[in-house]
Amino acid sequence: MSRFDVWAPRAESLELLAAGRQYAMERADGGWWRLPEDAAVPAGEVDYGYRIDGADKPVADPRSRRQPDGVHGLSRTFDPAQHSWTDAGWRSPGLSGGVIYELHVGTFTPEGTLDAAAAKLDYLAGLGVDHVELLPVNAFNGTHNWGYDGVLWYAVQESYGGPAAYQRFVDAAHRQGIGVIQDVVYNHLGPSGNYLPQFGPYFAAAGSNPWGDSINLDGPESDEVRRYIVDNALMWFRDFHVDGLRLDAVHALHDERAVHILEELSAATDACAAELGKPLFLVAESDLNNPRMIESRTRNGLGLDGQWSDDFHHAVHVNLTGETSGYYADFDSLGALAKVLAGGFFHDGSYSSFRHRHHGRPIDKEHVTTRQLVVCTQNHDQIGNRAAGDRLSATLDYGSLALAAVLNLTSPFTPMLFMGEEFAASTPWQFFTSHPEPELGEATSQGRLREFERMGWDPEIVPDPQDESTFTNSKLLWSEVEEGDHARLLQLYRELIRLRRQEPELTNPDLRAVAVDFDEDRRWLLLRRGRVTVAFNFAEDERRIEAGPGRLLLATDPDAKLDGALTLPRKSAAVLRRQGEGTA
């Protein structure tokens, strides 16, 4: 494929505008258009666009790598080979149970750029994270956005620094010993700057999902649409040295073909990993609770390396906050948390009162490992989709935040942190947009209000997503990391991550090696992983728990004691190694 080839089966005529000149393109096989062999487009960096059927305004390349003037402007060529990589010695650990740190480029630092984020990588290395996961960075309209309104999947948002800055970020992360996971959205496009329908049938003829028109994965001419997705995934691996992709809301990918698009992505990723000689992985966001997502392709699974488990978040959230509305209702017990810890899912064929039906199926512990489930106590959705975008730190005390930290970082699964949770950030994480079109901005603001009114929230506490303060209020305050309980919690996170690396039981991939005991009435729970036991007291009073002889490895409260039995103060947790092999 040459640099200006474009798939446009709907076009009757197509002209390339490049470097201020116009070139008539020729139709080729399969709906593709190419330049004539004698077309002399200048070499090097070129601004360009396509005039479809004689239209006055040229539109961007669907595979554009740069949009210096926004998604409604011309594309600009970008040569990824111009970057001199320094990460030849980098060895990705893959999805091995290490800690993932989810961040949004625009609000992680005051500057909101990739270069500014790269300057904070030493902090993340000191924290001990294994991978940083970037929320979507593909080009969107406006100056700031969550990232889920992107319309040009191959272009890195210019206000973040564009593709060259992205390469610098990944290179810097690898130098710090940190892998990079990119969040990608293949289930919908944003509402402004989406010109794909002018080129071809990128969207399904009928049907939509909650965020927009469904992608054409199984209809007529869907072969090239699927190729568009697969090629994009491979671009992140090859041109940007990304280690893994997080696939947004895969339950919204409607595909009735015999080989599902996720299976196709999985096979292409494995082939690319073999070609590049390094681990590459895919993690799905899925609310289906279907283990087939992460079963191997040889077992008729889709072959993804991991998936999010929302059930873990819900069980932790309810047991710490007492909130039981909506989808939280079924998780109102320590028993629910115990079931998730031991089995990965709570809804494994059980009745879901939120869905008014049975949901999910059990995980086969012989073929699925603990590392394949990515869990968290906070993430961009679970915070940002609250009316006020309030974090756990807005309502919970230090003891409860410490419980959340221990639950996440000693769980059997792959733990993920959301930026700022490690120091109890006081800033909210709110839903923000910057749609330049007044009518779209108004529709977004009013739609947000109606959504929360239906859920019974006070509209007075719902921030206007179009107000710039909603965006700026969501930026982290880095001065907090050295203050009071913020610094105290940060130190706990560092110690927990160190302990997770130090104690092999905490990353044992065998789900069959997990045992849980709990007392619903007395509100304590024991998570047993080999000779390591993690004890939790969710009660408002001290609890004395028979945990067996051993030594205390970590406690969130200095008054915790192990003297035959374990004494845990209110809202506290402890990690101990039971007496026997490996005990000092």
Cβ atoms of 467 and 144 within 8 Å: the answer is no
The predicted-structure confidence for 127-171, as pLDDT tens digits, reads as follows 999 999 999 999 999 999 999 999 999 999 999 999 999 999 999
Tokens representing residue 545 in the block: 């728990």
Q: Which residues contact 84 (CB under 8 A, 6 or more apart)?
A: none
Q: What is the average per-residue pLDDT within 67-90?
A: 97
DSSP 3-state of 59: strand
Summarize the confidence of residues 281-310 as an average pLDDT.
97
| Strands, sheet with 572-578, edge to edge from the N-terminal-most edge strand | 514-519, 524-529, 532-537, 572-578, 550-555
Look up residue 111 and give its amino acid. E
Which structure tokens are listed for 306? 């991991």
Given the residues 133, 224, 285, 310, select the one marked as catalytic: 285
Sole residue written with tokens 């810097």: 172
> Position of tokens 């639950």?
407
171 is catalytic: no
Does pLDDT of 527 surpass 80? yes
Q: What order do you get walking across the sheet with 32-34 strand by strand? A: 6-7, 32-34, 26-27
Higher pLDDT, 461 or 66: 66
Can you give the pLDDT at residue 453? Answer: 65
Catalytically annotated residue among 158, 213, 224, 248: 248
Mean per-residue pLDDT for 461-477?
93
Is residue 285 flagged as an active site residue?
yes
Nearest residue to 447 (alpha-carbon basis) of 468, 464, 469, 470: 464
> Three-class SS string for 297-354?
HHHCCCCCCEEECHHHHHHHHHHHHCCCCHHHHHHCCHHHHHHHHHHCCCCCCEEECC
Farthest CA pair distance, the chain: 86
Mean pLDDT across the stretch 375-392? 94
What whole-number distance in Å separates Cα of residue 258 and Cα of residue 275? 26
Helices (H), 95-221: 105-108, 114-118, 121-127, 162-175, 196-199
Determine the average pLDDT of the residues in 504-509.
96
* pLDDT of residue 288 exceeding 90: yes
Report the DSSP pairing between strands 131-134 and 179-184.
parallel
